[in-house]
Amino acid sequence: MAAAIEQGAEGPARVAGPVFQSYQLACIERASLGFLDAVAAGAAGAGKPRGRALGLYDVGVMKSLFLAILLVSAVGRPALGATLDIYWIDVEGGAATLVVTPEAETILMDAGWPGFEGRDAERIVKVLGEEVGKLELDYFIASHFHRDHTGGVAALADRVPIHNFVDHGDSVEVGWNERADQLWQSYVDTAGEERIRAEPGQRLPLAGTDFVFVAARSRFLEEPLAAASPNSACRGAAAKRVDRGENGKSVGFMIRVGDFEFLDLGDLTWNYEIETACPVNLFGAVDLYQVTHHGMHMSGAPAHIQAIQPLVAVMNNGPRKGGSPATFSALMAAESLVDLWQVHRAVESGAEHNPSEEFIANTGETEGCAAHWIKASVQPDGQFSVTNSRTGFSKSYKPR
Ligand SMILES: [Zn+2]
């Protein structure tokens, strides 16, 4: 029961909370004209009120036409630059991390929330269409079965082909409540019979990058990825409440290119983070770190952060979700950290618990759901840059 309560902090109970729900509703009002609809409306005639344009023209036909144009241009486009690109797509406090390899293979871990007329799926499609030029996913990885991660995948699969589904195994929250059951059933219906089960140590066969799963279903690598010195932060690392739910089952992966490493552990919780860091540091130092669990306080164990010594961190928080002062402080305590980037400003925290605005993609609470993303672009030698799509501000880093 304790586990169910802990899950509730991010699962259905949190979603139904008045603050979060009202924010999401404010967002859908403005976002109801989706990406494809907006394009269709634009094509139908500049200057027309969008609503009228949608009423006057056959949006279905326009969507098909637009998709056909995008697909043709994807086929005919020149070879992509040899960078590995990572996008943190804004899904309002959920997760949608898109990896595009130097060979243009597309891997998406998580697809945001369900509902809101496919808002999060359309945001992902928009990045695939406008930035990547490939309306197709080679792999979808379900980090775990919570609505802010796998809720949006059914709507996404309606819009783009997804060739492989990877997950940690069956949801451990089936039978906990009706919403958990619905979420699970929706995923199974979408993914079909041919699911790939991630195992720690297993690799995805991708050219030009080493992609290895490091966590799945509360199991981790048996051997460390790199030799690491003893982690002094293990002393006094205190455990929190046991987590038997889906967060702790999160699939985690590491990507390496040249000297560069990127680590994404989904919503792995505190005690498990410590397990990966103490007594043996399984991951070694990483250059780029997706802050675990949106920066929520039930993750972000200092022993874990000290073990991986992140150079740059990206937090996929929402305006009122994640970005907790405790996690912010734990990150700032890491001497290795040069910059923290955030998908949203944590609006309940002051300037002392947020980075300066150039490192924040979405600064307000109701700013029209512009859904600005953050992108990291990694050169073959491991040098990388991070860009804020709201301003175009970009900063380069040398891997260690
Ligand atoms: Zn989450």
Percentage of residues in the chain having pLDDT higher than 90: 74
Question: How many angstroms is it from 276 CA to the middle of ligand 1?
Answer: 19
Angle at 360 between CA 357 and CA 363, to 5 degrees: 75
CB 108 within 8 A of CB 98: yes
Q: Which residues contact 131 (CB under 8 A, 6 or more apart)?
A: 87, 375
CA 152, CA 368: separation in Å to the nearest integer? 20
Question: How many angstroms is it from 73 CA to the middle of ligand 1?
Answer: 34
Percentage of residues in the chain having pLDDT higher than 70: 79
Beta-strand pair 374-378/384-388: antiparallel
φ, ψ at 340 (rounded to 5°) = -115, 130
pLDDT of residue 81: 55
The predicted model gives 323-352 an average pLDDT of 96
Residue 170, Cβ density class (10 Å: 0-12 exposed, 13-18 middle, ≥19 buried): middle
Question: How many angstroms is it from 267 CA to the middle of ligand 1?
Answer: 6
Task: Report the interhelical angle of 119-127 vs 35-44 (nearest 10°).
Answer: 70
Question: How many angstroms is it from 266 CA to the middle of ligand 1?
Answer: 7
pLDDT of residue 74: 40
pLDDT of 115 over the 50 cut: yes
β partners of residue 313: 289, 340
Question: How many angstroms is it from 175 CA to the middle of ligand 1?
Answer: 20
pLDDT of residue 296: 97
Question: How many angstroms is it from 224 CA to the middle of ligand 1?
Answer: 26
Question: How many angstroms is it from 334 CA to the middle of ligand 1?
Answer: 23
**What is the pTM for the complete model shown?**
0.83
Question: How many angstroms is it from 246 CA to the middle of ligand 1?
Answer: 10
Question: How many angstroms is it from 331 CA to the middle of ligand 1?
Answer: 19
Supply the mean pLDDT for the chain.
84
pLDDT of residue 365: 82
pLDDT of 62 over the 90 cut: no
CA 213, CA 271: separation in Å to the nearest integer? 19
Question: How many angstroms is it from 149 CA to the middle of ligand 1?
Answer: 6
CB 259 within 8 A of CB 281: no
Secondary structure class of 31 (helix, strand, coil): helix
Residue pLDDT, tens place only, 182-191: 999 999 999 9
pLDDT of residue 194: 87
The answer to whether domain 2-32+86-397 has CATH 3.60.15.10 is yes
Residue pLDDT, tens place only, 215-234: 999 999 999 998 877 888 89
Secondary structure class of 179 (helix, strand, coil): helix
Confidence of residue 8 (pLDDT cuts 50, 70, 90): very low
CA 297, CA 144: separation in Å to the nearest integer? 18
DSSP string, 142-177: --SS-HHHHTTHHHHHTTS-B--EEESSS-TTTTT-
pLDDT of residue 49: 26
